[in-house]
């Protein structure tokens, strides 16, 4: 049995799509979609311009599938089942951290991992031990911990 170029390209594209499940970037999947669009476009016995049009339409369909289905359902399912802590933004990682409130130039801040965040939330003062509930840019919503 001889394996054609199109069969090889489809296998490579599927491997790249599977890699996207474990790598938190879309580049492998977009490369796979270009490969699949090429395979779909060249598999029809049409003039070259129509093959290019079929490939382009296929690529748009695959991109739509990726953003409306793959990222919303398949990637979330895989993240919840197999890789629960696969990716968390830096802000999400700070949630539940504890730290002391410091006063700098008449403003309250909390220092966490060497970074200062403006404090808002419970009535807190300098020296209070607090827990981060939410981070919004450079501001941290905190809850005062009992001593």
Domain ranges of the chain: 5-81, 90-144
The residues near 104 (Cβ < 8 Å, ≥ 6 apart) are: 116
Average pLDDT over residues 20-41: 86
Q: Three-class SS of residue 132? A: strand
Mean pLDDT of the residues in the chain: 83
pLDDT at 42: 92
DSSP state, residue 73: I
Q: Three-class SS of residue 145? A: coil
Dist CA 43 CA 57 (whole Å): 14
pLDDT at 86: 55
> Which position has the token pair 């801040």?
109
Dist CA 53 CA 30 (whole Å): 18
pLDDT > 90: what percent of the chain?
A: 28
How far is C-alpha 103 from the chain's CA centre? 35
CATH class of the domain comprising 90-144: mainly beta
How far is C-alpha 87 from the chain's CA centre? 7
pLDDT > 70: what percent of the chain?
A: 89
Check pLDDT > 60 for residue 87: no
Tokens of 92: 């999400």
Confidence of residue 124 (pLDDT cuts 50, 70, 90): confident
Dist CA 63 CA 29 (whole Å): 9
């Amino acid at each position: 049995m001889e394996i054609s170029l199109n069969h090889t390209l489809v296998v490579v594209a599927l491997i790249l799509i599977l890699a996207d499940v474990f790598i938190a970037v879309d580049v492998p999947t977009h490369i796979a979609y270009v490969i699949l669009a090429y395979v779909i476009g060249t598999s029809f016995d049409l003039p070259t311009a129509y093959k290019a049009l079929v490939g382009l339409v296929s690529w748009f369909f695959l991109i739509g599938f990726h953003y409306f289905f793959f990222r919303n359902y398949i990637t979330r399912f895989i993240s919840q089942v197999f890789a629960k802590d696969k990716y968390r933004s830096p802000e999400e990682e700070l949630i539940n951290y504890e730290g002391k409130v410091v006063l700098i130039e008449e403003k309250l801040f909390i220092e966490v991992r060497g970074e200062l965040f403006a404090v808002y939330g419970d009535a807190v003062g300098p020296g209070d031990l607090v827990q981060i509930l939410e981070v919004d840019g450079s501001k941290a919503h905190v809850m005062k911990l009992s001593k």
